[in-house]
A = this chain, B = another copy of it.
Amino acid sequence: MVPHLATALNGPLLDFEKKILEATPSIERWFRLEWQEHTPPFYCSVDMRNSGFKLAPVDTNLFPGGFNHLGSEMLPLAVQASMAAIEKYCPDARNLLLIPEDRPCNASYWQNIARQMQIYRQTGLNVRLGNLDENATEVKTIVLADGAELLVEPLQRSANGRRLGLKNFDPCTILLNNDLSTRIPAILENIHEQTLLPPLHAGWAMRRKTNHFASYDEVVKKFAKMVEIDPWLINPFHAKCGDVDFEAGTGLDGLMASVDTILAKIRKKYKEYGIKDKPFVIVKADAGTCGMGIMTVRDSREVRDLSSKQRNKMTVVKDGREVHDYIVQEGVYTFEQIDESVAEPVVYMIDRYVVGGFYRVHQDRGVDENLNAPGMEFVPLAFAQQHAVPDVRAKPGTAAPNRFYMYGVVARLALLAASLELEKTDPNPEIY
């Protein structure tokens, strides 16, 4: 299915698409050289918003959980990319231990795990699932919609305590698909003989969105200079705001000030580009996931005047964790629509390669709201359909592959930012 798009690609983005296409050899070479210096995360998905005048990543996920939403015709790409990744980390790997979420955000999560297992098996690995729940002693069976069964087995350390595996299964590589929202479980500490991907500090117990977007600022600055664009076209303003307690009502002045600052910056840019839309910001938990702890703010007084229910929603996120640090991010309208529902693209990468994507669609949400919420649906991005490689001669804004290429470029900028972010936040940087 090719989604029906109602995107109003206009002025600045058309020009951006044109520049991106013309500069393809330079852009790809630039990425190639950056990947000589930086190691990409094993996998990554990037939520993006396209407002017609701006295309920006708004969230970079290092534990992507929607592989089942990619078109099946994209699978060979994913297999090939994961071959390249595995060869780098552990060329003689035979066994891969995949550690899924213990409490997934949504029911279709296990289809994602089944899909990932299929990809890694095809890569040349025996794949088994480990249960991060330390109280688990039995094998847990998960029955999928098609009747297939997944077995999630209790983790165990080897007799000498140096290795992590399952009963009769000693992996070379351990792949986390669990975002470690609350804490880093002891059983994952001190793994030195095996490759643990992504590293522990990529989990939300330690990771912060503001670190990511600070790295993204850096990456975009370099990239925008190369292709000669205003960095703002692909980068949302953001600010960090700590020590906020919605329940106690403390720290709200600081938050309001940040909101005002970002709104003022957006207003200035909108004026520069003649954009008539109303500026807004998104306030998000700096370490939140599953689309929780997120609100749209059009006026700074809104953060002061929350209802008690709203305050609670902003404070308590996944797994009951309390939040006091927030990121205030420029809101980017999404002017893409599928069947009159608001849609945003999500791009998936393995290693340094784009392997597919989908549209997240929500029929009850507005163009300035978070779509990662119950009721969302998924439509595969038509990457592999039609002529899957950009057509330089097409009129800007008219060819789907050209738009997807542009999405892939911006998503890879976020991927590169994640790579820098992980380097900078590494608690044991000597291993680099």
Contacts and interface: CB of A to CB of B under 8 A. Distances in A.
Interface of A: 24-33, 35-36, 72-73, 75-77, 79-81, 83-84, 86-87, 91-94, 118-119, 121-126, 353, 383-390
Number of copies of this protein chain within its complex:
2
Contact of A28 (B29, B83, B353, B389): B83
B384 A92 contact: no
27 contacts: A24-B122, A24-B124, A25-B94, A25-B121, A26-B124, A27-B124, A28-B83, A28-B122, A29-B124, A31-B124, A32-B83, A32-B86, A32-B87, A32-B124, A72-B389, A73-B384, A73-B385, A75-B387, A75-B388, A76-B77, A76-B383, A77-B77, A79-B389, A80-B353, A122-B389, A122-B390, A384-B384
B73 A29 contact: no
Contact of A125 (B29, B76, B93): B29
A84 to B, nearest CB: 6
A29 B118 contact: no
A25 B81 contact: no
A25 B126 contact: yes
Nearest to A90: B32
Given A75-B388, A118-B389, A92 B124 contact: no
Nearest to A387: B72
Given A28-B123, A384-B384, 5 more contacts: A73-B385, A76-B77, A76-B389, A83-B353, A84-B84
A75 B389 contact: yes
B388 A73 contact: yes
Nearest to A408: B76
Given A32-B83, A32-B87, A84-B84, A76 B25 contact: no
